[in-house]
Amino acid sequence: MEEQIIKTEYSDIMQKSYIDYAMSVIIARALPDVRDGLKPVQRRTLYDMHELGIRYDKPYRKCARIVGDTMGKYHPHGDSSIYDALVVMAQDFKKGQPLVDGHGNFGSIEGDGAAAMRYTEARLQKITQEVFLADLDKNVVDFGPNFDETEKEPLVLPVKVPNLLLNGAEGIAVGMATNVPPHNLGELIEAEKAFLKNPNITTEELMQYVQGPDFPTGGIVVNKDDLLEIYKTGMGKIKIRGKVEVEHGKGGKDRIVITEIPYTMVGANIGKFLNDVGSLVESRKAPDIVDISNQSSKEGIRIVLELKKNADADQIINMLYKKTKLEDTFGMNMLAVADQKPETMGLREVLEYHLDFQYEITTRKYKTLLTKELDKQEVQEGLIKACDVIDLIIEILRGSKNIKEAKACLVEGETANIKFKSQASKKQASKLRFTERQATAILEMRLYKLIGLEIEGLMKEHEQTLANIAKYQDILSNHSTMTKVIRKELDDIKKAYAVPRKTVIENGVEAVYEEKKIEEQPVVFLMDRFDYAKTIDLSLYERNKEVADGENKYVFTCMNTDKICLFTNTGTLHTVKVLDLPAGKLRDKGTPIDNVSNYNSAEEEIVFVSPLQDLDKKYLVFTTKYGMMKKVMGTEFNVAKRTIAATKLNEGDEVCSVLTEDMILIQEGMSVAEIPKNNNNIVLQTAKGIFLRFASEEVPEKKRGAVGVRGIKLVEEDTIENVYIFNENEPVTIEYDQKEIALSRLKKASRDTKGNKYRR
C-alpha cells in the first residue's frame, strides 16, 4: 500500500489531542458518576472484591491480592492509586459510610499513612454488599469490556442511595475539580422519599430533611443561612469549626478541650494546628496558654490547652478560631459526571439524577425477574400437564429408540417411529403439543416427582409463580407501584444503616478577637557570630553592656514593633519582626535567625543588619566583591514581603559591604548656595592592599533593581575586602597589616581609578 502524507495544521492536532486527554481524565479517572457517586478506581475495586467473593461474612483477604487483581483486570494505572482508593474507602474519619472493612493499620486521623498493602487485609462492608452491589446478576446495569477486552466490568454500580452526597467526593481533573462533603444517610433517604412523593419539590423544601453536611469528624457548621444558596447552586463556602469545651480546674486554672475538629483538619493539619498554637505562645500573642497536649486516642479527639490562672478562655477560643485552622472553610463544588459530561449540580439535581437511576435499575431488575418467572411458569404448566398423562409419556419413552424421537413426539406429536401398546395410545400421543422447554423439563424429570406430595408442592409453586408474575407486571406497568417498591427499599436501608447526625448546623456568632495593642518600647537586638538572635530589655543591656558587646556580632537598640533587616551577600534582603524573636535574659541562647526568617545560612551570608526604622532618611551604600557601587534610598526597603532582591548583581559577583549614609535634607525654598554639602569620603580597600579614596558624592543614587557603577579599577584576581565611609573633617584610623593607617590622610582621587598600593 502506497504511503500517504496528510498535511494538517499543528494547532488543530494539539487542540484535538488535548481535548481527548482532558475528557479521558475527567470521565475515566478524576470525577465521580452522579448515579453511584464513585470514581472508576473505586467502582472497579469494589466490583473486583465482589467477584473475588470477599464478602462481609467471609474472611479478610490481603489487600495486595485485591490491588493486584484489580490492576490486572480492570484498572491498569498503577497499584498506588488503587490501594490509596481502597484505604480511603475504609477510613471512617474520611467517609460518612465506609465501604470497605479494613483489618490492620489503615492510617489515622492525625495523618499517619496506612501500612503497606502486603500487611493489611480487607473485605466488603455489609452495606456495600447489600446496597451497592446487590442485583448485579439481574441485568440492572450495563457492562462493558475492560482495557484489553478480556473481561467485562459494570459501567456503573446499582447503588440504592445517593452515594455522591453520602460519602462525598474530591478530585482534580483537567481545568475542573470536585469537592463534595459527606451527608447523613437517614436525612438523604427522607429527602428522596419526599422527592418521590412530590417530583416538583424545591431545594428549600428538601433542606427540611437534609440539614447540611454531616462530617464524620463532627464539628459545627456556623453559616446555616448560607446553605440554601449553596445547595441551590452546588457551589459555595461552608464555614466549619471544631467543638470546644472549657473544663474548670482547681485554683481558677481552666483548660480548653477540643473534642471535635473541622473536617479540613484531618491529617497533617492536626500537627499544623498544634504548631500554630505553639507559635502564638512563642510570639506572645497567647501568653495565657501554658501547655498544649494531644491526648487523642481511638475513643476520639482530645486536644487540651492548659491556661494560666484567671485567663479569659472565651477570648482565647476566639483567637484560636481567627488564627488557626480550628475554624476553616470547606469549598463545596458538586461537580460530577452526568450523561457522560461533567456538570455542576445542586441538591435537587443530584437527587433527581439518582432517583431516575433508581427507576431505571428497578425496571431492569423486575423485567429480568418477570422473564424468569414466565419461563418458570411455562415449565411448571408443562409438568402439571405431564402428570395428567404420565402413563402415556412413560409409554412414549419406552417405545422410543432415542431422546430425539421422544422429544419430537412430545413437541410435535410425531408417532411414526415409536412403538405403542395400542392405537388409542398412539392417537392420544399424536395430539401432544408441549413446548421445547416443557419437553426438555419432562424428559429430565425424576420419578420421585410423581409422588403425591411432590405434585402438590408443584401446584403450590405454580400458584406462587403466577402471583409473582402478577406482582412484577403490576410493578412494571404502574409507576405508583414501582415508587412504593423504591420507597420500601429506602426504608429498609435507613432502618439497617442510618446513624444519628454528628455535625451541628447553626448560625454561629462571629468570632471577635482583637489583638491587644502591643506597648511600644525600646529593646536591644543581639546576634552572635553563629547567627543566634534574641532581644533583651534596654536596662539589662545597660547593666551588662561590655559583656553583650563582646559576645555578639550585631548589637543595636530598636523598637519592639520594628522589623530587622538582614542584607546578604547574594543581594537579598530578609526581614524579621522583632516580636518574632525570643525575648529573654542575657545568657539565653536565642534562636537561629534561619528559624524566624527565609534566610538560609547554608547558601548565603549576612553582611549587614539594621532595624528598618533606622533606614528612613538614609542611603544604603552597596559595594560588591568586584567593585560595583551604588546608593539606594532606605525607604525602598520598607516593603511588606519577608524577602526581596535588595540589589542586582552581575554573574559571579556578590555583595561584600552595605553601609549607611545620612541623606542631605533639602527644605522647600532653599537656594543652591544654602544646600548643605556632603563632606563624606569613601575608602575602598582590596585584598591585595590597594586603597582608593574618593568623595561619596561620586557614587550615584540608583534603584534596587540597578547594578550600579564601578568604584575602582581592580587589578587581575583582586577583590574588594573592606569599605569605609567617614567625614573628611574627622580623623579616622584603621589597623592594616599590623600598622595604623589614617584614612583621612590618604591621597584623594576619583572614583573608577586604580588607587594606590599600601607600602610599609
For the annotated catalytic residues, the residue numbers are 119
AA identity, residue 377: Q
How far is 462 from 373, CA to CA, in rounded Å?
Answer: 10
Query: Residue 550 has which C-alpha cell?
Result: 563582646
What is the distance of C-alpha 101 from the center of its chain?
23
- Residue 363 vs residues 35, 239, 407, 498: alpha-carbon distances, Å: 16, 41, 36, 26
Residue whose C-alpha is closest to residue 96's, from 500, 489, 486 = 500
Query: Residue 132 has which C-alpha cell?
Result: 451497592
How far is 443 from 437, CA to CA, in rounded Å?
Answer: 10
Q: Which residues have CB under 8 Å from 348's CB, separation 6+? A: 195, 201, 202, 203, 206, 232
Percent of residues in the chain assigned helix, strand, coil, to nearest 5:
40, 25, 40
Q: Which residue do the cell numbers 526568617 mark?
A: 597
What is the distance of C-alpha 298 from the center of its chain?
23
Burial class (CB in 10 A: 0-12, 13-18, 19+), 583: middle
Question: In 310-447, where do the E strands start and end?
Answer: 327-333, 335-338, 341-344
β-pair partners for 629: 623, 709
How far is 301 from 557, CA to CA, in rounded Å?
Answer: 46
> Strands 522-527 and 554-559: what pairing?
antiparallel
Query: Residue 710 has which C-alpha cell?
Result: 564601578
- Residue 450 vs residues 386, 388, 439, 457, 721: alpha-carbon distances, Å: 10, 10, 16, 11, 117
Residue whose C-alpha is closest to residue 560's, from 608, 611, 598, 618 = 611
AA identity, residue 439: A
Q: Which residues have CB under 8 Å from 603's CB, separation 6+? A: 570
The total number of residues shown for the chain amounts to 760
Question: In 679-738, where do the E strands start and end?
Answer: 680-686, 690-695, 709-710, 720-727, 733-736
On whether the CB atoms of residues 486 and 363 are closer than 8 A, the answer is no
- Quick one: CA dihedral 295, 296, 298, 299, positive or negative? positive
On whether the CB atoms of residues 120 and 105 are closer than 8 A, the answer is yes
Tell me which H or E stretch contains 367: helix 347-388
> Strands 504-505 and 220-221: what pairing?
parallel
Helices 63-73 and 79-90, interaxial angle, to 10°? 130
633-641: long-range contacts, CB 8 A cutoff, minimum separation 24? 633/663, 633/701, 634/660, 636/703, 636/704, 637/565, 637/573, 637/612, 637/704, 638/612, 641/575
Residue 617 zone, left/alpha/beta (φ > 0; ψ -120 to 50; rest): left
Q: Which residues have CB under 8 Å from 19's CB, separation 6+? A: none
In 10 A of CB 386, how many CB atoms?
22
On whether the CB atoms of residues 67 and 79 are closer than 8 A, the answer is yes
